[in-house]
Amino acid sequence: MILSASRRTDIPNYYSDWFLNRIKQGCVYARNPMNPRQVSKIPLSPDVVDCIVFWTKNPRPMLTKLDALSGYAYYFWFTLTCYGTDIEQNVPDKHREIIPTFQELSKKISAERVIWRYDPILFTNQYTPEYHINAFAQIAEKLRGYTQKCVISFVDIYTKNQRAMQKLQVYDLAPPAQTAFATTIAQIARDNGMQMASCAEAVDLSACGIVHNCCIDKELIAQITGCTIRADKDKNQRKECGCIESIDIGTYNTCQNACRYCYANHSPRSVTQSCQTYDENSPVLCGQITAEDKITERFVKSFKERQMTIWDI
């Protein structure tokens, strides 16, 4: 089993104590987003958790707690963009706080296991292609040697973020301009020792030096664990997504980063209401199990297949 923590919220930033309590207790409960009364009980034994994939904009609260994960394989998706608090309202200053946090995390767990997401890319009158290129170059230089890969995607418009995108007057680049932009930042990444990849993009950017990427990455997990991973594509993701199957333990309407492009929150009010129910000792994130909940123990298994070495022949 691959554990996703989480596409739906920033667990390392806001809920690391809850997560580590779940690790200590050996199980976690997760509600079905489409039917909240359906709850899965998920075991967290290292015997079945092949890898934990963390998603965050600021893992600072976890840096002193990583020893609690010594029995697990894991890696971090670390989102670091050029936006200010007009777009990412609760994310600390990038140069004073976030970049040093990225560097410190990389030193602790290796550059291989901290992947830079410059994502999503959106264009406005302030955040022009030229602005992005200049900011991307500055960040890439500071992350040189601290990561091996940078992943990008262009902003997607959903019902939940459509109004915010309209207020920001977000615009798309014409295909030739998008190609030129992508080619430029890919070269900057290579100049700083990073492979450039895209996330769930329908457009083919291979001519720009950008390969398609998988966030729940079978090859990376195999590299980290030293085992072949036998897992299928995640059927719950978009067709452009190449991720393998995983179990997400996050809860929508709980991310406090307050990014204006966010698709995981209905509204600031919904986040406030959800966070009022946070209990680091609860088996479920931001809430409690009630008598009305139908709990099902989820069957999980390891995807690992031990790789043969020369000594096995």
230 is written with which tokens? 């036998």
**Rounded-to-integer distance, Cα 12 and Cα 180, Å:** 35
Which position has the token pair 């000594």? 311
Contacting residues for 267 by C-beta, under 8 A, at least 6 apart: none
270 is written with which tokens? 């919904």
Tell me, what DSSP letter sits at residue 299? P
Cβ count within 10 A of residue 277: 14
The pLDDT of residue 313? 44
Instruction: Walk along the chain (313 residues) in steps of 10 and give the mean pLDDT of each run.
Output: 97 98 98 95 97 98 96 97 96 97 98 97 97 98 98 84 89 93 97 93 85 90 95 82 92 96 91 97 97 96 72 44
Decide: 148 and 111 in contact? Cβ < 8 Å: yes
Query: Helices marked H in the chain — which ranges?
Result: 11-14, 16-25, 99-109, 129-143, 162-168, 175-191, 218-225, 268-275
Burial of 229 (0-12, 13-18, 19+ CB in 10 A): buried
The pLDDT of residue 116? 98
Count: domains in the chain: 1
Closest CA to 246 of 16, 27, 42: 42
**Rounded-to-integer distance, Cα 147 and Cα 42, Å:** 31
Range of the domain at 96: 2-312
The pLDDT of residue 307? 56
- Sign of the torsion angle spanned by Cα atoms 256, 196, 225, 296: positive
* 3-class secondary-structure state, position 273: helix
Contacting residues for 192 by C-beta, under 8 A, at least 6 apart: 140, 141, 143, 144
**Rounded-to-integer distance, Cα 40 and Cα 189, Å:** 41
Tell me, what DSSP letter sits at residue 276? T
**Rounded-to-integer distance, Cα 214 and Cα 239, Å:** 12
Identify how many contiguous H helices and E strands the chain contains and give both numbers: 8, 13
Contacting residues for 36 by C-beta, under 8 A, at least 6 apart: none
